[in-house]
């Protein structure tokens, strides 16, 4: 029963007030939660697929979750090949994107809700960029990618930047490890928001993405924000959300 039905039952005398009050207070709390309150939010968010963080879960748990989802679009991130082999033996109809370590269960959307750009500094950053790409595509957003453009050869940046601007991307994801200078450089050239993803590449002092994260956060380039180290999903989702916003 929803609120309206309770109220009508009260009006008709089919339900006494004490019972109605109890239902409205306690039993129906779930329906008074935010899902009810923010219809618009829910509507706008409905094209965001479920994402399962696969690293801290074993294959059994993941398989169970996928079964429960019954084919609704679900991404499982940070799944290595071995773990996928087990999942694959338990759940049918999934796709494994090895480069990105992502399992896709359910149907990817066909609509185009917008377009974003994805750039990486080096080849080691590509898996995280691919994670971002899959997430964005799962939200119905097309991705223009330019991988391994480096930071030194500015001329290597110009062609892909030009292409992205020409195609009117809504946001650009830049994945970079090591010293993480690329997001700053891209952001200074970009007319749209840039989401920097530090990548856990690098060694010694500032290694494992720490220097890259710091660089992105210290950057004074307007329009640059950060997600956590290796969080390709988050970067792709935010960029896609911006794209979807423009589409509306």
Report 106-125 residues binding a copy of itself (CB under 8 A): 123-124
If the CB atoms of residues 91 and 195 are measured against a copy of itself, the closer one turns out to be 195
Return the residues of window 200-229 that contact a copy of itself according to CB under 8 A. Answer: 200-207, 209-229
User: Cα–Cα distance between 117 and 109 in angstroms, integer?
Assistant: 18
- Residue choice 29, 89, 112, 167 for contact with a copy of itself (CB under 8 A): 29
Closest CA to 195 of 203, 204, 187, 205: 187
Return the residues of window 152-181 that contact a copy of itself according to CB under 8 A. Answer: 152-156, 158-159, 161-162, 165-166, 170-171, 178-181
Residues in contact with a copy of itself, counted by CB under 8 A, come to a total of 106
| 150 neighbors 177 (Cβ within 8 angstroms) | no
Interface with a copy of itself by CB under 8 A: which range of 67-75, 81-89, 105-113, 151-159? 151-159
If the CB atoms of residues 22 and 93 are measured against a copy of itself, the closer one turns out to be 22
> CB within 8 A of 143, min separation 6: which ones?
115, 116, 117, 118, 132, 133, 136, 137
What's the maximum distance between 2 C-alpha atoms anywhere in the chain? 77
Q: What is the DSSP string of 173-196?
A: EEEE-TT--HHHHHHHH-SS-EEE
- Residue choice 17, 68, 70, 81 for contact with a copy of itself (CB under 8 A): 17
Tokens of 93: 């109809």
- 7 in contact with a copy of itself (CB under 8 A): yes
Quick one: angle between helices 232-247 and 126-138, nearest 10? 40
- Residue choice 34, 70, 81, 82 for contact with a copy of itself (CB under 8 A): 34
- 57 in contact with a copy of itself (CB under 8 A): yes
Q: In the bound complex, what is the minimum distance in angstroms from residue 177's beta carbon to a copy of itself?
A: 8
- 92 in contact with a copy of itself (CB under 8 A): no
């Amino acid at each position: 029963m929803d609120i309206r039905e309770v109220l009508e039952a009260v009006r008709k005398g089919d339900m006494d007030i004490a019972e109605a009050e109890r239902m409205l207070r306690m039993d129906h709390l779930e329906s008074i939660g935010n899902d009810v309150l923010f219809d618009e939010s829910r509507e706008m968010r409905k094209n965001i697929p479920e994402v399962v963080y696969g690293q801290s879960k074993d294959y059994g748990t993941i398989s169970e979750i996928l079964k429960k989802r019954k084919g609704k679009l679900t991404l499982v991130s940070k799944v290595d090949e071995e773990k996928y082999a087990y999942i694959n033996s338990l759940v049918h109809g999934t796709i494994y994107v090895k480069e990105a370590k992502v399992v896709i269960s359910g149907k990817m959307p066909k609509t185009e809700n917008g377009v974003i750009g994805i750039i990486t500094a080096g080849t080691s950053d590509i898996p995280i960029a691919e994670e971002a790409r899959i997430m964005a595509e799962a939200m119905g957003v097309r991705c223009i990618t330019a991988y391994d453009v480096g930071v030194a050869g500015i001329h290597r940046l110009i062609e892909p930047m030009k292409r992205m601007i020409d195609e009117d991307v809504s946001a650009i994801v830049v994945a970079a490890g090591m010293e993480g200078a690329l997001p700053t450089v891209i952001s200074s050239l970009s007319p749209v928001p840039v989401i920097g993803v530090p990548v856990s590449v690098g060694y010694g002092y500032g290694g494992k993405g720490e220097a890259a994260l710091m660089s992105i956060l210290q950057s004074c380039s307007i329009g640059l924000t950060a997600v956590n180290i290796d969080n390709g999903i988050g970067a792709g989702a935010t960029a896609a959300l911006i794209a979807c916003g423009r589409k509306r």
